[in-house]
Amino acid sequence: MRIAATADLHFTPARFQALHDQMNRVREEADVFVLAGDLTNYGRPEEMEPLLNVLVRLRLPIVAVLGNHDYESGREGDLMRMLSQEGIKVLDGSAYERDGVGFAGTKGFVGGFGRGVLTAFGEPEVKTFVRASIEEALKLERAMSQLRTQKRVIVLHYAPIAATVEGEAKEIFPFLGTSRLAEVVDRHGADLVIHGHAHNGKCDGKTPGGVPVHNVAITLLQSQNPSAVYRIFEV
């Protein structure tokens, strides 16, 4: 299966024509299109509507997760419904299987990496923050446990490893993802992890267990090739 993947479109109506033209080739190059979050800029339905007009014209199976920008206006439920009504598979602690390939995904959350992971100790506010991170990891666990396919693709918005956020300011590393997600991936096994969020990170890395991880933030892709709006993977 050929998978085209991108993230962090931050779509606004003003970008309609440019994005439509740039994505025109994806139908010829891929079998499935994956969107790894931050589809909109402020999480408003009026941003999602023209983006959907672009996506449905691709006539490709599409798998998506939402990102933090898609939650900004508190309309994430509406955005998910809009996507689902157009046949787009929105993963939120859920799984989807197609042609022998399983997709599992969730938004993810922040929390830090390795020895720097924030733990639930101290003030109630810290514990609430950490609980949100743990809940997203548990959602990924549930999604992966549903898969019965040998080939597995994980879709996240936040990064599961530090290697693919390198290039961002070190001060914000803990806010770009958490290795709790990578622990789940390594426990269940996967062929590929796709994420976004770190606009200035690195394209490629691996979990401690050796699963390939790829950052497909569109700004990162375009820093290497100005005309790139997605990246192709084969599984």
pLDDT of residue 227: 85
| 14, pLDDT greater than 90 | no
- DSSP sequence for 46-96: HHHHHHHHHHHTT-S-EEEE--GGGGTTS-HHHHHHHHHHTT-EE-SSEEE
| 75, pLDDT greater than 90 | yes
Chain length of the chain:
235
Percent of the chain scored above 90 by pLDDT?
A: 90
Average confidence (pLDDT) over 175-188? 98
For strands 192-195 and 212-215, give the pairing. parallel
Average confidence (pLDDT) over 140-152? 96
Give the HSE-up count for residue 2: Cα atoms under 13 Å, Cβ half-sphere. Answer: 10
Reference 154, options 210, 93, 74, 200; nearest CA is 93
pLDDT of residue 155: 98
Q: Tokens in use for 147? A: 């898969």
Task: Report phi then psi at 74, rounded to 5.
Answer: 70, 20
Across all residues in the chain, what is the average pLDDT?
95
| 154, pLDDT greater than 80 | yes
Q: How far apart are CA 120 and CA 228, in angstroms?
A: 41
Please state, as a whole number, how many other Cβ atoms lie within 10 Å of the Cβ of residue 200.
14
pLDDT of residue 103: 98
**pLDDT tens digit string along 86-116?**
999 999 999 999 999 999 999 999 999 999 9
Give the pLDDT band (50/70/90) at residue 218: very high
| Residue 90 lies in domain | 2-234
Instruction: Report yes or no: 84 and 47 within 8 Å, Cβ to Cβ.
Output: no
pLDDT of residue 76: 97
CA angle (5 as vertex; 193, 212 as ends), nearest 5: 25
pLDDT of residue 19: 79
Q: How far apart are CA 35 and CA 183, in angstroms?
A: 22
Average confidence (pLDDT) over 36-48? 95
Reference 146, options 188, 191, 86; nearest CA is 188
Percent of the chain scored above 70 by pLDDT?
A: 100
Count of domains for the chain = 1
pLDDT of residue 25: 87
Q: Which residue would you say has higher pLDDT here, 162 or 12?
A: 162
Task: Report phi then psi at 166, rounded to 5.
Answer: -60, 135
Residue 178: DSSP 8-state: B
CATH of the domain at 125: 3.60.21.10
pTM comes to: 0.96
Instruction: Identify any residues that bridge with 104 across adjacent strands, giving them in sequence order.
Output: 95, 154
**Non-local CB neighbours of 121 within 8 Å, separated by 6+ positions:** 127
| 12, pLDDT greater than 90 | no
